[in-house]
Structure 1
Amino acid sequence: MAHLSRTTWRHLSRTAECRSTALFSKRPSTCLSTSRAFTTTSCNRTDGVFRELTAQRLQTPWIEALRKQQAEGTSPSQPSGTPQTPKERELTPKRMDDSFHKVVLPLAQDPWLLDTYLNSSGHIRLGTIFMDLDALSGVIAYKHTGEDVTTVTASCDRIVINHPLTEICDLELSGKVTYATGRSSMEITMQVAKAPKEGEKIKNEDVLIHCTMTMVALDPGTRKPVNVNPIIVSTTEEKRLYALGERNSQIRKQRKETALIKHTPNDEESDLIHAFWQKQLQYHDPYDELRKPDNAHFMDTTVLRTATIMQPQNRNRHHFMIFGGFLLKQTFELAFTTAAAFAHSRPTFVSLDPSTFQNPVPVGSILYLTATVVYTDPPLIGAPGEQFDAESNYTRVQVRVDSKVRDVEHGRSKPTGTFNYTFNVEKNIRVVPKTYQEFMMYLDARRRAEQVKETLQEEGVGISPETAEKSVTE
C-alpha cells in the first residue's frame, strides 16, 4: 500500500466526516462546498452541460453503443431505409404548456458545478449556457413529439441578451414549443433567468437570455421529415408567442427566397459596392491625398481557423452524431476570439443572429471552423441616405463562422452550418471588403443586422453597450 502522510489522512478523514454529516444530518454542511470527496463516475456526468440535461441526452455508454453498431455491421451515417415511425401516431393538437420544461443551475450553491461554467476572469461562459439551451430544446421537443421520432436542430433563430447579470446566482432555464402547424418543424422558445425564490415568479428584469430554436422531426430509419402535433392557443400570451413564431417562419422563407446565392444585389447594395470600390481606388491613387484610415481593416486580415476532432463525449442521444450545443459553444468561442483579435478589445456578446445547421457532424470526424469579421456598424461607408454616427466610441461587430466536416481520411467534405454572432467593442473600428465574395458576405451580414435590429425594436429587447459591460457573463 502506498504511504500517505498524516496531512493527507487528516484531509481524507475530514472529507468522510463531512459527507457523513451531510448524508445523515439535516443540518447544512459547509464541508461539501470547500472539498471534493471521492465519488463513483455515475454520480456526476457532465461535460459542461448541466448533469440533469446530460443524463437525458446520454442514456447509453459509448462503448455499448459502439459494440452494438459493430455487431450489427451498420453505418451510423447512413439511414437504414426502413421506416421506424408508426404510421398511426397520435397527432392531436397539444397546448404549449404540455411541453414546458425547466431546470435550475445551482451555480451560487455548488462551487464545483460553477467551476465548469467560469472563464479565467470569473465570468460565466456563455458558450456553456448555449450548450445547455440546445440540450434543453431537445428535451422540450421530445416532450412534444414523443420518442417515436428523431428530432434535430434545424436553426438557431436568435439568442439575445435581455438584461445583464451583475452577480453569480442560480439560473433557471425554461422553455416550451410555441409554434407548430402540424408539419415537421416546431419553434421552441426558451429563456435563462435569475432563479426566483420559492413561490415567486421571474421578473422581467431578471431575464438574462431570450432564445428561439427550430427543431425538425425525422423518421429514425429513413431520416425523412415526419409530421408533429400542431399547437393550439387560447390565452393572449400564447397568441403573441404563436404570432412571433409565424413571423419568424415567414422571415426564414423570405430570406431564403431573396438570398444572394440566388439573386444579384439590389440597386442600393450595388451602389454601396461601387462606393467601396471608388474609395479603394482613392486609397491607392498617388495623386490623391486620401489613404485608408488606421481604424479600417481589410476583411481577409480578420480570418481565424480551427480544426477539431469530434469525440463521443459530445454526442447526441442517438450516439453517433455531435449534438448541436457543442457546435454552438465551439463557434461562439471562436467568434469571440475573432472579434477580440480584430478590435484588440474585450467584446461583449449582443446576439446570435439567425443561423442554420445544414448537415450532421459524425463522431470521429474533423470539424473545420472559419471565422471572419464580415460587418461593422457604424460602417465605413453607408448606403445613400443612411444615417449613422461615424465617431461612435462603440462598434457593433458581426462575425460569421462557417463550418465544414471531413472524415479522418479527408476523403469527403460537406458544410455543416453557418453561424452569425454580433458583439459590441469599445473601439471605433471598421471592416472593408475587397473581393466579390467578401462583398457578398458583407451584404448578407448587413441584411441580417438590419432585420435583427428591426425585430428587436418591435419586441423592445436589447441593451446598450455600457449596460452590457457590467454583466458577469462573457
Structure 2
Amino acid sequence: MVLDIPPRTCMIDRSGHEVWRQLNEARCRIFHSSSRHQTDGVFRALTEQRVRTPWIEALRKQQAEGTAPGQTSGKQEVPSHRSLAPKRMEDSYHSVILPLAQDPWLLDTYLNSSGHIRLGTIFMDLDALSGVIAYKHTGEDVTTVTASCDRIVINHPLTEICDLELSGQVTYATGRSSLEISMQVAKAPKDGERIRNEDILLSCTFTMVSLDPGTKKPVPVNPLIVETPEEKRLYALGERNSEIRKQRKQTALIKYTPNDLESDLIHAFWQKQLQFHDPYDELRKPDNVHFMDTTRLRTATIMQPQNRNRHHFMIFGGFLLKQTFELAFTTAAAFAHARPTFVSLDPSTFQNPVPVGSILYLTATVVYTDPPLIGAPGEQFDAESKYTRVQIRVDSKVRDVEHGRSKPTGQFNYTFNVEKNIRVMPRTYQEFMMYLDARRRAEQVKESVKEDEIGLSPKAAEQSVTE
C-alpha cells in the first residue's frame, strides 16, 4: 500500500527541505498488513483437514473435464482389496485445543455482540472434527457424509472464557455403512491433568455414512472391537440411539396416524380454539399464547465455496448447523422477547447435499413449548413456571439457480430455555402434526437426559458465557 500525498502538501510548513524529505519518504513508504487471524468459523487445525485444494483449482479442473459440480463417475472407486479388519475406538481418537483464552483474534471470531461464545461456530468445529475422526476409522478411499446429529446437550455451564478441548472417537460401528461418533467440548486441562466431569461443556453424537466416491452407494466400514467397561457403555449408547432411530421411523407421523393420547390432545386444542372464539364464552386467548404460524422466520442464502467440504462442490454439514442454530436462536428470541439459553440440539437429519452456488432456504417455527398450553390426560406440569422450554424446528431446502429445482436438505430441532411464561398453539392439521412430532422429541430427550444424568437447570444455564 502506497501513501499518496500530493506534492503541494509541503507548502504548509516553512521548515524547508527537511519537511520536503520527510513527506517524500512518506509518499513511497510501503506498509505491510499483519498476518490474518480470522477463520471461517472453523478452527484452522480442522479447516486444513477439510479444504485441501484452493477453490480456483478445483473449479478449473471441473471446467476442463466438462463435468457438472458433484457429478460422479458411476463406476466403483473403492478398492476391492480394502481392509475391513476390526478397529479399536482409540484408533480413531482425535483432539484439538481451541486457544480462545490465548488468542484474542481467534476469540474475536467466536464471540457475539454480548460477549458470549457463539455455539454455532462450535457446532461447525464439531462437524469438521467428526469428519477427521470418521476418516481415521474408514481411511481415505471412501466418501463420508454426515447423516444425522442425534443430539448435542449442554452438560455444565462455562463460566469464563478459557481454552477448549474438542475431542471424540468412533463409538459404534457394526461393519455396515454407518458409524456413530461421540464427541465432547471441555475446558482444556493443564499439562499432566485429566478432564473432570464438571469441566465438560457439552457432549454430542453424530452419525456418519460411508459411500463409494464413484457410485455414491453405501459401502461397509470397519467394525469396532469393544474391550473395556467404558467402551462397552459407549457402544451400548450407540445401540440405543440406533434403536430410537428405527422406532422413530416405524411410528413417524408422515406414515401413521397419531395414537389415542395424541388424538385426545388434538381434540382438546380444537375445543380450546372454539372457546376462544365463542361469543357466549368469556374465555379469550391469553396474551402469552401465540399461534404457531405467527412465530415463523425465513432466510435465503447463496452457498459460497468458502464453506465447501473436502469434495469441493458441496457445502459441509457444519455450516448448515451454524446457519440453522442462529436462525433458531433468533426465532426463540423474537418469540419470547427474552434472551434464550441453549439446551439441546435434538435428533436432526441431513437429507440431501447442498451444492456450492445453490440457494439455501431456511424456515424456523416454534413448534412446542414446555410447560404446554394443554397437557395430555394425566400429565402434570407447572403452568405458572417462569421458565419455558421452547423447541424450534428449522426446515431447510435447496434450490438449483439454473433450473429452479428444489429439494429438502434436512430438518433441525433446537431447544432453548427462556425466562418467560409463554405458550405456542397449533391450529391447522399440519401444525398439529409438527406439534406432536416435537412433543415426541421432547419426551425422548427428557428420558435420555435423565438416564445419562446430564442437562442444566434454567438458572444455571443463564450463568454460562455461551449462547
TM-score for the superposition, normalised by structure 2? 0.94
The 3-state SS of whatever aligns with 2:360 is: strand
Does the 8 Å CA contact 1:45/1:55 hold for their aligned counterparts?
no
Does the 8 Å CA contact 1:45/1:54 hold for their aligned counterparts?
no
Distance 1:80 1:383 in 2: 53
- State how 1:389-428 maps to structure 2 within 5 Å: 389-409=382-402, 411-428=404-421
**Residues 301-351 of structure 1, C-alpha deviation per residue, up to 9 Å, x if partnerless?**
000000000000000000000000000000000000000000000000000
Partner of 1:143: 136
Distance 1:440 1:214 in 2: 26
Aligned partner letter, 1:100: Y
Q: 1:410/1:349 Cα in 2 relative to 1: closer, same or farther (>3 Å)?
A: farther
**Residues 159-187 of structure 1, C-alpha deviation per residue, up to 9 Å, x if partnerless?**
00000100000000000000000000000
Identity of aligned residues (%): 83
Distance 2:269 2:163 in 1: 48
Q: 1:329/1:3 Cα in 2 relative to 1: closer, same or farther (>3 Å)?
A: same
**1:374 and 2:370 are equivalent in the alignment:** no
Shift of 1:38: 1.9
Partner of residue 441 from structure 2, selected from 423, 441, 448: 448
Partner of 1:227: 220
**Residues 164-212 of structure 1, C-alpha deviation per residue, up to 9 Å, x if partnerless?**
1000000000000000000000000000000000010000000001010
Partner of 2:190: 197
Aligned partner letter, 1:65: A
Distance 1:286 1:45 in 2: 60
Aligned partner letter, 1:38: S
Does the 8 Å CA contact 1:309/1:366 hold for their aligned counterparts?
yes
Partner of residue 34 from structure 2, selected from 7, 20, 38: 38
**Residues 386-413 of structure 1, C-alpha deviation per residue, up to 9 Å, x if partnerless?**
0000000000000000000001135200
- State how 1:232-243 maps to structure 2 within 5 Å: 232-243=225-236
Partner of 1:21: none
Alignment coverage as a number of residue pairs: 447
The 3-state SS of whatever aligns with 1:362 is: coil
Shift of 1:420: 0.1
Does the 8 Å CA contact 1:375/1:431 hold for their aligned counterparts?
yes
5+ residue gaps, structure 2 = 6-18
Distance 2:371 2:42 in 1: 36
Aligned partner letter, 2:275: Q
Shift of 1:78: 3.0
**Residues 211-230 of structure 1, C-alpha deviation per residue, up to 9 Å, x if partnerless?**
10000000000000000000
5+ residue gaps, structure 1 = 17-36
Structure with max Cα Rg: 2
Distance 1:326 1:393 in 2: 34
Partner of 1:473: 466
Distance 1:139 1:77 in 2: 21
TM-score for the superposition, normalised by structure 1? 0.92
Does the 8 Å CA contact 1:45/1:51 hold for their aligned counterparts?
no
Distance 1:409 1:293 in 2: 47
Partner of residue 377 from structure 2, selected from 375, 381, 384: 384
Does the 8 Å CA contact 1:349/1:422 hold for their aligned counterparts?
yes
Shift of 1:45: 7.4
Partner of 1:121: 114
Shift of 1:80: 1.7
Partner of residue 264 from structure 2, selected from 234, 259, 271: 271
Structural RMSD (CA): 1.7
Aligned partner letter, 1:371: A
